[in-house]
Structure 1
Amino acid sequence: MITHDLVVIGGSAGSLEPLRTIVGALGGFRGTVLIAVHAYPNARSHLLPGLLASLGTLSVTHARDGDPLAPGTVLVAPPARHLIVEPGRVRLTTGPRENGTRPAIDPLFRTAARSYGARVVGVLLSGHLDDGTYGLAIIKSHGGRTIVQKPSTARHPDMPESGMHNVRVDAVLSPEEIGPRLCELANTPIMEETTMGRLGSKGAPLDRIAHDEGIAGERHATVLSCPECHGVMMRLERPDLLHFECQIGHAASPLSLEAAQATEVTGSLESARRGLREQALLAYMMAERARGNRDIEGAAELEERAHAYEKNADAIEGILSKVQRFGHGRAPNDGDLPG
């Protein structure tokens, strides 16, 4: 009997408590659970398996390269590694960051969908911006089930709201409801017509999984630059979603790309403002010295130059305040985890 026995869960800021609730409700779950949570490489996310292991009967560990997809196990992406799925096993990669982070949610979701099709259930939890939305769309297009955390229960509702607005998800549930639903799906046979053409008898790949973990699909060049390497961003031709990838393999969804652009623009403006303030200060120092040497004309010229620097710095400061007001730059973190 083929069921929805591969669950992939993605989360970011605010996802620890929902994860604890979900894993704690999976007693007797007969499938495999894979988890990707945003974290800095040196963050306290190494504690996550321990925090989840004490909550139920499932085995919870950090994933290791080549680990099998064994029933009753939970594998968590370790810091600085993408967790991806191949038939029968998981792989860990140090491939290009996606949506500004590694591990990212999209690589886990899309490789699971391409390897196991209708057997996959994708769950998107609390977090900033829109990582996971594209992955949910891939799961949905391969016949899998999609669930997002009810935004009113999420500390940071951006990610589940993005999933809801861009993908026709199967369910919007509270954390208390998600665990029982996953157990139900793992015990429900997948209809033959659902799996036909989407799933091999042993979960064979649905299409080629690129060795570089690139995103499959036709690409067209844009005038946008990659926030990671500044190469040309290619727009993935997909009618329902915008998605971008550079030649190196860095990938970004729209909100993540906008956030990265806002961070870069803010940094450039702050650097320009600081440089102009310093130029003004230096010009004033030079004017004071010129005045001490009784070069009145030279001092006046330097003071005029200093005033111009200050005026330009004030103008940049006004632009900077507007950019910061509308920017979405947020860094991944695991601030939910205790020290």
Structure 2
Amino acid sequence: MAASAGGVEALRTLAAGLAADLPAAIFVVLHIPATGRSLLGPILDRESAFTAVVAEDAMAIQPGLIYVAPADRHLLVRRDRIELSRGPKENGVRPAADPMFRSLARAWGPAAIGVVLSGALDDGSAGTVSMSEAGGTVIVQDPADALVPGMPASAIAANPPDYTLPLAEIGGVLERLVRAAAPAPREEEAMPSVPDPDDHLRAEQRPAGPASGFTCPECSGALWEVKDGALARYRCRVGHTYSEDAMVEAQGQAVEAALWTALEVLEERGELLRRIAGRMEGKPRSARRFEESAREALDRAALIRRALSMGVGSYALTVDQMLEETAG
């Protein structure tokens, strides 16, 4: 199960409806800050007949348990155990849904079920493509029923799921699917020719696909465009990976950070130039030159401050206005 903004209540509802004898193990990724501590395990443990725990590396997979991804670790599902990875962030987050779904598809194939719940942007969409290609079942919360519809809507657009349901109906479908005769789990060792995209201990190679001309918001390395079915994603040499929505979001954050830096430098420069001008006694021409330079720096700083107050979506328009005003 994967969720982000608005997903805690959805996860609580699903956990509360689990029958104690349901023969399944459940893995949960919820986007949380890297420096935070996940409280989701204790919350779900209080709500559910299952036992909810924060996942640990090499923990054995057992039915009746809910394994919650800890902060700053990808949760990877193997055939008999869990692996926690500090591999590169995907879609700007760690833990991310895509690596969990990919590993689940690889290890359990047709016996795997992926659930996408409320959340922003589109983490999980590429992972559900892998789930479907492996013969697994994909369930997506109806976007109209989700508190934040971004993740469910993106998953539906990327790959038509097996079920699109309001939250109240997901538990019943899960119960029916799990109790049905499930195919045997897939033998990972039987596919040695297929590289494991989540094995970040190996030396990374240049990603397949054409160079995008963009740079990675995380490490500033070159990005290549890779395809997951019809989905386009961007991946750098070390493995940071972005969907198109996540790339737009990350670039917006980078633009804002750059503008705040420029604002600080320009205001500091204006103050320095004015201080120098004030010390130019007996040198009016030099003082005037420094004062004009200070005013120019502070005027540019004021324009940047105005751009920041207008928000990321207004930057392009504001930059055009700044150029016109500066030229005038």
Paired residues, what number?
307
Are residue 169 (structure 1) and residue 161 (structure 2) matched? yes
SS in 2 for 1:146: strand
Q: Give 2:22's aligned residue.
A: 29
Aligned to 1:209: 196
Match of 1:324 among 304, 309, 312: 312
Superposition pairs of residues 18-97 of structure 1, within 5 angstroms? 18-27=10-19, 28-45=21-38, 47-97=39-89
Q: Structure 1 unaligned segments of length 5 or more: list them.
A: 1-8, 196-200, 328-339
Shift of the alpha carbon at 1:183? 0.6
Residue in structure 1 matched with residue 170 of structure 2 by the alignment: 178
TM-score after normalising by structure 2: 0.86
**Does the alignment pair 1:305 with 2:288?**
no
CA deviations on 1:286-315 (whole Å, 9 max, x unpaired) are: 22222xx13211121112112221332244
Cα distance in 1 for residues equivalent to 2:138 and 2:206? 20
Whether the 8 Å CA contact 1:100–1:256 is kept in 2: the answer is yes
Rounded Cα–Cα distance in structure 1 between residues aligned with 2:273 and 2:58:
62
2:131 aligned with 1:143: no
Worse-matched range after superposition: 302-311 or 124-133: 302-311
* Alignment-derived partner of residue 265 in structure 1: 255
Task: State whether structure 2 residue 242 is matched by structure 1 residue 252.
Answer: yes
Kept after mapping to 2: 8 A contact 1:11/1:124: yes
Percent sequence identity over aligned pairs: 32
Letter in 1 for 2:111: R
Structure 1 residues 244 and 57 mapped into 2: Cα distance closer, same or farther (>3 Å)? same
C-alpha contact (below 8 Å) 2:76/2:99 kept by paired residues? yes
2: CA distance, partners of 1:299 / 1:216: 55
Cα distance in 2 between the residues matched to 1:308 and 1:268: 19
Write the distance in 2 (CA, Å) between the matches of 1:105 and 1:269.
31
**Cα-to-partner distance string for 1:111-149 (whole Å, 9 max, x where unaligned):** 101111111111111122111111111111212111122
Cα pair 2:75 2:85 within 8 Å, conserved: yes
Provide TM-score, normalisation by structure 1: 0.83
CA-based RMSD of the aligned residues comes to 2.3
Aligned-pair CA distance for 1:202:
4.5
- Quote how far apart the aligned CAs of 1:98 are: 1.3
Match of 2:216 among 226, 231, 248: 226
Distance 2:207 2:259 in 1: 36
Q: Name the amino acid aligned to 1:104.
A: A
Residue aligned with 1:91, SS: strand
Q: Distance in 1 between matches of 2:172 and 2:205?
A: 32
Find the aligned partners of 1:216 and 1:180 in 2 and give their Cα distance.
44
In 2: Cα distance, 1:326 partner to 1:179 partner: 43
Q: Which amino acid in 2 is paired with 1:127? A: G
CA distance in 2, matches of 1:216, 1:117: 27
Aligned-partner Cα distance in 1 for 2:185–2:139: 25
Q: Which structure would you say has the larger RCO, counting Cα contacts within 8 Å and 6 or more residues apart? A: 1
Structure 2: 5+ residue runs without aligned partners?
A: 316-328
CA displacement 1:5-60 (0-9 Å, x = unmatched) = xxxx0111211110000011111321111111111233241x21111112222121
- Following superposition, the deviation at residue 217 of structure 1 comes to 8.0
Q: Is the 8 A contact 2:41 2:68 kept in 1?
A: yes
Q: Look up the match of 1:127.
A: 119
Q: Secondary structure at the match of 1:219?
A: coil
Determine the C-alpha separation between the residues in 1 that align with 2:81 and 2:211: 34
User: Which residue number in structure 1 is paired with residue 321 of structure 2?
Assistant: none
